[in-house]
Structure 1
Amino acid sequence: MKTMEEKKWHVVDSYLAQQLHQEDLALDYVLENNRKNNLPPFDVSRTQGEFLRLLVQMTNAKRILEIGTLGGYSTICMAKGLSKGGKIITLEASPAHASCANDNITNAGFDQCVSIQLGMALETLPLLQQQNELFDFFFIDADKPNNPYYLEWALKLAEPGSVIIADNVVRNGEVIDRHSTDPRIQGIRTFMDMLSQDERIDSTAIQTVGEKGYDGFVIGRVKG
């Protein structure tokens, strides 16, 4: 059961979305189609999705790599901010999730600029390197124990000045527990350690509350 504070976060998120964003039938379709296909409700919120869209627009991103597609909600949000002629490659391990995401992305009209690559990300990322793929924007939102490896690969595939965003890095405050036995927490803590020590990237984090609960984003910029 939600606490009074959590209920307030949800209501405020709804208010912000209604005030600042117009109705989006394509995103509504994603949520409904995801439910029909029994996908877990782990999509970013509407306000978080618009935050990603604005970041993509402000950075004039043309080559985006997303690690973790789920139903394609965040993919579509980023596609809305993509520069003309740009492309998104999104990696998804689950065939069922990829199939649903493909339907959602096609319905939104972005199938020509979005490519879903099916398979475990740690197996598909080396293939991108072999193909000499480089990216100027990354969104990491997959299995948290592998976040350190995803960061390593993002840095290998990044152009100078690239932006790297990672979601779900606060985990209801559990990230501060260095004794946690949860592999997701330890993966994020190692990820944070890497960010603090690697001179190739300048980064910060921001805590968030809202309909997705208490969590946060990491935002980093690869140095030129």
Structure 2
Amino acid sequence: MGERWQAVDDYIAGKLLGDDDALATTLAYNAQEGLPPIDVSAAQGKVLFLLAQMAGAQRILEVGTLGGYSTIWLARALPEGGSLVTLELEAHHARIAQANLETAGLAGKVDIRVGPAVDSLRAMTDEAPFDFVFIDADKQSNVRYVEEAIRLGRPGTTIIVDNVVREGGVLDADSDDERIVGTRALFDMLSANPRLDATAIQTVGAKGWDGFVLARVL
């Protein structure tokens, strides 16, 4: 089944996305530098781009930069004068992302901050509000990241959290996998938080069976 999922993603990309030298170069450089191939797919990147544009986002926050592939998609959605702050734990990843953003001509719109994301988020009070938040980092901290996204957002802020299905692992209440435990805690938090209106969508494709949360701050 996975081969069919990949083939459909390739079909979508061929019909609707086309070739993109900057994104292809980014993925090639990430692989060359030993980064894990866990970026969003091209089709998912375009979803982020379109959602950020539909939200009219002028200020975007990303938690989890990796090599900057999703960062490029999001930065491209910004209008003239827009800005993006992206948080990355690993200095090596941040250096690669910076190089990729420079190659893509987007370095002037993006501020990469290195260190534990929770610490970076706590220090960003004066920079609120953000219009759009994409969270794709360590899953065990997702509750904290969403809480911070609410604090740093405004009514109407869009929040996307990636990798929330985990090939159905989210159903396993007895799992000792910290990523699944963190994801289940996220769903508990979303269901109880009166400041969020949220849903989640399952996805299949080049990245396997997974899904994302789509939420709006009230």
TM-score bucket of the superposed structures, by smaller chain = over 0.9
Cα distance in 2 for residues equivalent to 1:197 and 1:13: 35
Cα distance in 2 for residues equivalent to 1:132 and 1:205: 28
Q: 1:102 and 2:89 equivalent?
A: no
Could you report, residue by residue, the CA deviation over 1:115-149 in whole angstroms, capped at 9, with x for unpaired residues?
A: 000111011111112x3432010000000000011
Which 5+ residue runs of structure 2 have no aligned equivalent? none
Matches within 5 A, 1:157-176: 157-176=152-171
The equivalent of 1:49 in structure 2 is 45
The equivalent of 1:140 in structure 2 is 135
The equivalent of 1:120 in structure 2 is 116
Q: CA deviation at 1:84?
A: 2.0
The equivalent of 2:68 in structure 1 is 72
Which 5+ residue runs of structure 1 have no aligned equivalent? none
Q: CA deviation at 1:89?
A: 0.1
Moved over 4 A (4+): none
Cα distance in 2 for residues equivalent to 1:84 and 1:203: 29
The equivalent of 2:213 in structure 1 is 218
Q: 1:27 and 2:40 equivalent?
A: no
SS at match of 1:14: helix
Give 1:182's aligned amino acid. D
User: What's the TM-score, normalizing by structure 2?
Assistant: 0.99
Q: CA RMSD in A?
A: 0.7
Cα distance in 2 for residues equivalent to 1:34 and 1:133: 31
Cα distance in 2 for residues equivalent to 1:7 and 1:153: 38
Q: 1:111 aligns with which of 107, 111, 121?
A: 107
Size of the alignment, in residue pairs? 218
SS at match of 2:151: helix
Identity level (%): 50
SS at match of 1:44: coil
